[in-house]
Amino acid sequence: MRPETQPDIEPFLQTVARASRSLLLLDYDGTLAPFRKERDQALPYPGVAPVLQEIVRNGRTRVVIISGRDASETAPLLGLDPSPEIWGLHGSQRLKPDGTVKTPQLHESTLDALSAADNWLGYQQLRHMAEFKTGSIAIHWRDLGEREAAEIRGRVLLGWIHLAQEAGLDLLEFDGGVEIRASAPDKGDAVRSLLSEMSANTPAAYLGDDNTDERAFRAINGRGLSVLVRPQWRQTAARLWLKPPEELLDFLARWLKACQALDASGSEAVAAVNR
C-alpha cells in the first residue's frame, strides 16, 4: 500500500452498519496511546477512551486489545467500564472477564535461557533499561539518540542472538527496542484465533503501529481491514494508514456511528412488530 492509494473506508463501515456483530482489534502503545518514557503513564490520546467506551457499551462490537504489555497493565490505563477483552504479551496471554489472567506455562529450559539473557544484561550493565514480563525480557531505547540506540542494540544482540538460537526463543524487534521471548503465539496467531471464533462474514479490523503488528496485518488481510496508525507512513502490509490522533478519532467515531445506525433501524423494526 502507498499512502496515495488508500482505499475508501465507507464501504467497509457500511458492512459494520449492516452486521449484527463486528470485531475491532486494537494494539495499545503507539496506536491508542502516544509513547511515554514512563510506561505506566501512557494514557490514551484525548478523546479515544470516551469513543471506545461508547463502542463497548453499544454492544454490537467485540473490542479486543492485543498488546505487547502484560495484560493486567492495560485495563487501568484505558479506564473503560466494562473493560474490553485484553490479550497481553503479543497475544500469548489472555485476560479473562473475571479479571484473572491466563498465561502459558513455561518450560524449565525457557526459564534457564531467560535467566541467562538477564545475566547478559547484568554483565552489560543494561538491566535498568529492561522490562521483565512473563516469558520475556524487553529492552527499551526509544528515548535515546540514534547512535546510542544502535550501540545498545548491538551489545544486547551480541549475547541474545546466541541464547535465542540455542534455546529456541524468539527475538522480536519493535520500534525502540528488542525483546527475547518464549516461542509463543504472536499477534498474527491471536488475530487468526479471534477470527475463527466469529462467523465468516463478521466485519473485522485490526489497528496497530509497530513491526510486531505486521503479522496481525497479514493475518487479517483478505478477511478484514488492516490499519497502520502512525504519524509517519512506512512500508507495511496494512491496507490503510491513519495519522493519530485526529484520523484515528475520526475512524473510531465513524465506527460508532455505523453501529448506532443499525440500532436506530433495529429498534424501529421492533416497534413496527409490536404495533
Give the nearer residue to Mg ion in terms of CB position, either 28 or 120. Answer: 28
214 forms part of the interface with Mg ion (CB under 5 A): no
Q: Which is nearer to Mg ion, 31 or 61 (CB)?
A: 31
Within a 10 A sphere around the Cβ of 267, how many other Cβ atoms? 10
Q: Estimate to the nearest angstrom the gap between the alpha carbon of 2 and the chain centroid.
A: 22
Query: What minimum distance in Å lies between the beta carbon of 228 and Mg ion?
Result: 11
- Regarding 244 and contact with Mg ion (CB under 5 A), the answer is no
Q: Which range binds Mg ion by CB under 5 A, 30-38, 44-52, 227-235, 243-251?
A: 30-38
Residue 30 interacts with Mg ion (CB under 5 A)? yes
The interface region with Mg ion, picked from 20-28, 181-189, 215-223, 246-254 by CB under 5 A, is 20-28
User: How many residues form the binding site for Mg ion (CB under 5 A)?
Assistant: 5
Q: Which stretch binds Mg ion (CB under 5 A): 28-36, 58-66, 140-148, 254-262?
A: 28-36
Q: How far is the CB of 174 from Mg ion (least distance, A)?
A: 7
Cβ–Cβ under 8 Å, residues 40 and 3: no
> Of residues 22, 27, 63, 252, which one binds Mg ion by CB under 5 A?
27
- 209 lies in the binding site for Mg ion (CB under 5 A): yes
CB under 5 A: which stretch of 78-86, 209-217, 235-243, 251-259 binds Mg ion?
209-217
* Cβ-based nearer residue to Mg ion, 60 or 133: 133
Residue pair 10/203 in contact (Cβ under 8 Å)? The answer is no
Whether 191 contacts 237, CB under 8 Å: no
Counting Cα atoms < 13 Å in the Cβ hemisphere of 203 gives 19
186 lies in the binding site for Mg ion (CB under 5 A): no
Binding segment for Mg ion (CB under 5 A), chosen from 25-33, 119-127, 249-257, 259-267, is 25-33
159 is written with which cell numbers?
549475547
CB of 73 to Mg ion, least distance (A): 13
Separation in Å, CA 97 to CA 40, 71, 214: 22, 12, 27
List the one residue from 12, 17, 29, 135 that touches Mg ion (CB under 5 A).
Answer: 29
Question: Which range, of 89-97, 143-151, 204-212, 232-240, touches Mg ion by CB under 5 A?
Answer: 204-212
Binding mask 87-126 for Mg ion (x = CB under 5 A): ----------------------------------------
Footprint of Mg ion (CB under 5 A): 27, 29-30, 209-210
